[in-house]
Structure 1
Amino acid sequence: MFSSKWIPASVAGVAILFYAQLAQAQESGMDKAINETIAPISNVIAGAIFYSVSIGDIEFPLIVGWLVLAATIFTLYFGFVQFRMFGHAIALVKGDYSNPDDAGEVSHFQALTTALSGTVGLGNIAGVAVAISIGGPGATFWMILAGLLGMASKFTECTLGVKYRNEYPDGRVSGGPMYYLTKGLSEQGKPGLGRILAIVFSICCIGGAVGGGNMFQANQAFQQIVNVTGGEQSFIANSGWLFGLIMAAIVGMVIIGGIKSIAKVTEKIVPFMAVIYMVSGLIIIGMNIEHVGDAFYRIFDGAFTGAGVAGGTVGALIQGFKRAAFSNEAGIGSAAIAHSAVRTKEPITEGYVALLEPFIDTVVICTMTAVVITISGQLQTDLTGVELTSAAYATAFTWFPLVLAVAVVLFAFSTMLSWSYYGLKAWTYLVGEGKGKEMIFKGFFCLCVILGASMNLGPVIDFSDAMIFAMALPNVIGLYFLMPVVKREANQYWQKIDRGEIRKVKDIEAESARAR
């Protein structure tokens, strides 16, 4: 029906024709027309999803409380699994228990990097800067705490993702909240509720994938490139369509190959960009080692005194919790879609692997950003967002804004790859499996890359952000019902290890060598 070269060729061909209309439409106000059309819907939905209550002078979004409360409940219910099983999670990622004959499409490490590529991004660079510029260094403490709690949420949802996934004869798999909501709640005698929650989740996931996971990423990557090449005077300032076309072609060439192709790219990009960012941060910390003690004092002191920031202690807490929730997406359910593709016959193993995500994303990378900003002295300026992070790193490396621009593009690219898969699986859940149906979504996704880079669609992005967090409503409801299933899987897994039914690969190989 479609050739394997369909997406790149189609995107390039359609985009060239599309640009002529786009350029003309922009002059006549296409941005304005789309914004005015979407704004009324976006305002209502975003207002409902991000409904906030006033705590003193600070507004606290209830959706953040929903996620943090769920993470706390899962932490207690599973006996602080994120701390007890951290070492075992590392062993699984290393492949110590891997069996290449198990059903699935990617390794534990590839599943982890694919999911990380969807969460490690602009939030780690710009979001942290916003959080501590408003909530002070103390917000970092609460951000770390929320990240640690979120590890239990990822453990729960990713275990269920593998447990209830669909496995097809050709080796492909489909999994995620839409499947465990349907199958899991059906097992509990609630098929109607499960189906409704799964449909709501899928619709929100598609909306979030196209907007926040695609158009916003393309837009911000383009803006960063423009900023470091001269701003409004940049040679590329009015060529968002060209940047979007290039990004769309590259994204198309990767996602045509499905999760295996995406995983092969993300397993290289994610460690690379994380290492560049973290090494730069460590060098700056090393150059300012005499200020590190003071930075951590300000983080702990600010967490409990809230000195010098709006809302005091509560303000710091709220900003920290918000940043963690927005950064690692624990409880959103998106990561369970990527982890469902893992090669394993023990669902609980991927739950253990997944709990590493919030640790890497929030506890390590976000904290690194916060410490660098704190010791740089840039908090005393009027900068915020990515400009604050860029200025903080530039105190040691004047050329760092260029590195940051590359990092933003890589972050955006990897996020688009992951969210293309999330949106695709939500799409096929609603319309059914099939190559043709998949190609329709992939083609549309690539065209939205061009649109995102070319236009200023504020309400569209607000709408997509609301869609991403709306995913948490049906997902967490389902997780509460299915917590006992996860506990049962964990008990059965460790019983198998105790009986010697599951052993490390090196032990099996040693036994085989002795037998020979």
Structure 2
Amino acid sequence: MDTIFLINTVKQTDFEMHKIEELVAGYSDLMWGMPLLVLLLGGGLFFFIYSSFLPLKAFKHAIDVLRGAYDDPEAEGQISHFGALASSMAATVGMGNISGVALAIMAGGPGALFWMWVSALLGMGTKFFTCTLSVMYRKVHKDGKLEGGPMYIITQGLGEKWKPLAGLFAVAGLIGTLPMFESNQVTQVVREMVLEPNGIATENPVVLKLILGIGVAILVGVVIFGGLQRIVTVAERMVPAMVVLYMLCVGYIILVDFDQVPASFALIFSDAFSGNAVLGGALGSIIVIGAKRAAFSNEAGIGTAPMMHGDAKNHEPVQEGLVAMLGPAIDTILVCTLTALAIIITGVWKGSDAQGVTLTAQAFESAMPTVGTYLLVLCVAIFSFTTLFTFSHYGSKCWGFLFGEETKHWYNYIYIATIILGSVFTVDVVINLIDGCYATMAVPTMLSTLLLAPRVRKATKHYLSRLKSGEIKRFDQQEKKKEVMA
């Protein structure tokens, strides 16, 4: 009797999980329809043109601002330009670059990367506008601390009557920035690439996933309970190192088969318009896949980056927008391209049924037998943990907006719990849930930015005229002048 009851319970659980998977997949498909695609890509194109192609023309100036040439030590805020970019990129240069690219290629073919490039280029314009607004409209808390993000852009830029739109963003942000995808993928790669091949496993894979998830949760907890400053400090040290390490690894793979590089790029361009995607061969499907994975990779238009850049020490909003726009260039156009080339050059994507990070691991193993797997595991660990650290800050901001600044610390406990849950869920459920919430976050972010775009344009013209006239001076030159006079 007990056995029959147990069997029926398992069947019922499987049925319910299947229904949940279907509901979540339906939600993701609904949100990532043509209207959102037009909003993200069309909005990005509008921002790019409306700014008079500023992301291209002001690229060098943006780098100067990033490296602190225009820093004002007396500016209000909590973190530096570099700290803001490093922390926002800690969230974007993560599993979206390793696993997300693999998912895009398996779902849409190599041509999906081309549409990721397009989305990233347009995303530079979007990030400039959203992150400029994040400094223009900041919330001043009772303790004098400044805080930015789409919630405050909406309520302070558009007015309190728009607060329901800000609430929509915050609710979707609570779920969209949960760490389930990262914890799922990092436990997957450690289990499949390290433990199981070395005979370290249990008869019940769920138990092993649970143990790994608890370990990840403990390590993340040590950082996030230290607050924003500890998160930023860790990001400033780890992000440059992780990008360099990953570039060296993939650079080796590319050099080994360098003669395949031209053919790989030719395949990316031809497949982008040929309609030979795995998903039914429809060009629209390839574009949607590229846009989704680009959004997951660089988050342009989603609204997470403004939450970090809004905390920067800066009284020149345009400068923060310029720094922020560098993110998609580094994240998607550079790092995602490296991952795609590794997968395409090695040919592991052909006929493979691997999911996400496993496909990238196969590419590393193919080019660098034995050592390749462990190098990718190291990259995955660094990428995942930096994302896990930063996402907690985003989620706590959304929580604070909804339930009060004084309750933000409670969110970290929920965040840690979902790390463990994500480690045992299937990747399909996790990626569809996050994708759906990202799409939901994009709606209030893009709508508010489009409505406030004229104010950004006016501020940009004013900033550039002051910069040209010499009114805005380089801080590093001022310091040198003081040293000479002394």
Q: Could you state the TM-score of these two structures normalised by the residue count of structure 2?
A: 0.89
- The alignment partner of 1:326 has SS state of helix
Cα 1:290–1:88 change in 2 (3 A) is same
CA contact (8 A) 1:51 1:61 kept: no
Q: Which residue of 2 aligns with 1:103?
A: 76
Query: Does residue 387 of the first structure (1) align with residue 387 of the second (2)?
Result: no
Query: Does residue 85 of the first structure (1) align with residue 58 of the second (2)?
Result: yes
> What code does the residue aligned with 1:513 have?
E
Matches within 5 A, 1:123-142: 123-142=96-115
- The alignment partner of 1:229 has SS state of helix
1:230-278 alpha-carbon deviations (Å, 9 max, x no partner): 4395336523333333322222221223221111111122222221111
Please report how far the alpha carbon of residue 147 of structure 1 lies from its aligned counterpart in structure 2 after TM superposition: 1.0
> What code does the residue aligned with 1:473 have?
V
Q: Which residue of 2 aligns with 1:18?
A: none
1:260-306 alpha-carbon deviations (Å, 9 max, x no partner): 11111111222222211111111111122222222222222333444
Q: Which residue of 1 aligns with 2:368?
A: 397
CA contact (8 A) 1:251 1:416 kept: yes
CA contact (8 A) 2:191 2:209 kept: no
Q: Which residue of 2 aligns with 1:475?
A: 445
Q: Which residue of 2 aligns with 1:197?
A: 165
- Tell me the matched-pair count: 474
Query: Does residue 229 of the first structure (1) align with residue 199 of the second (2)?
Result: no
CA distance in 1, matches of 2:172, 2:435: 10
Q: Which residue of 2 aligns with 1:356?
A: 326
Q: Which residue of 1 aligns with 2:16?
A: 36
What runs of 5+ residues in structure 1 fail to find an aligned partner?
Answer: 1-25, 54-59
* 262-271 or 229-238, which deviates more: 229-238
Please report how far the alpha carbon of residue 390 of structure 1 lies from its aligned counterpart in structure 2 after TM superposition: 1.6
Q: Which residue of 1 aligns with 2:211?
A: 242
Q: Which residue of 1 aligns with 2:415?
A: 445
Query: Does residue 255 of the first structure (1) align with residue 230 of the second (2)?
Result: no
CA distance in 2, matches of 1:457, 1:304: 29
- The alignment partner of 1:395 has SS state of helix
1:114-141 alpha-carbon deviations (Å, 9 max, x no partner): 1111122222112222322343333322
CA contact (8 A) 1:39 1:460 kept: no
Please report how far the alpha carbon of residue 455 of structure 1 lies from its aligned counterpart in structure 2 after TM superposition: 5.1
Q: Which residue of 2 aligns with 1:418?
A: 390
Matches within 5 A, 1:237-386: 237=205, 238-306=207-275, 310-311=280-281, 313-384=283-354, 385-386=356-357
- The alignment partner of 1:321 has SS state of helix
CA distance in 1, matches of 2:124, 2:444: 19
Please report how far the alpha carbon of residue 482 of structure 1 lies from its aligned counterpart in structure 2 after TM superposition: 0.5
Query: Does residue 209 of the first structure (1) align with residue 177 of the second (2)?
Result: yes
Please report how far the alpha carbon of residue 461 of structure 1 lies from its aligned counterpart in structure 2 after TM superposition: 5.8
CA contact (8 A) 2:138 2:148 kept: yes
CA distance in 2, matches of 1:176, 1:495: 27
Cα 1:454–1:46 change in 2 (3 A) is closer
Matches within 5 A, 1:61-76: 62-76=35-49
Matches within 5 A, 1:421-500: 421-434=393-406, 437-454=407-424, 459=429, 462-500=432-470
CA contact (8 A) 1:181 1:478 kept: yes
Cα 1:382–1:248 change in 2 (3 A) is closer
Q: Which residue of 1 aligns with 2:121?
A: 148
1:371-399 alpha-carbon deviations (Å, 9 max, x no partner): 22222122333244323222222222112
Please report how far the alpha carbon of residue 315 of structure 1 lies from its aligned counterpart in structure 2 after TM superposition: 4.9
CA contact (8 A) 1:99 1:344 kept: yes
CA contact (8 A) 1:64 1:325 kept: no
Cα 1:82–1:35 change in 2 (3 A) is farther
Residue number among 159, 169, 175 corresponding to 2:148 in the alignment:
175
CA contact (8 A) 2:264 2:345 kept: yes
1:323-344 alpha-carbon deviations (Å, 9 max, x no partner): 2233212111011101111111
CA distance in 1, matches of 2:107, 2:49: 31
Q: Which residue of 2 aligns with 1:220?
A: 185
CA distance in 1, matches of 2:47, 2:434: 27
Cα 1:380–1:443 change in 2 (3 A) is closer
* 293-302 or 502-511, which deviates more: 293-302
C-alpha RMSD over aligned residues: 2.9
CA contact (8 A) 1:304 1:313 kept: yes
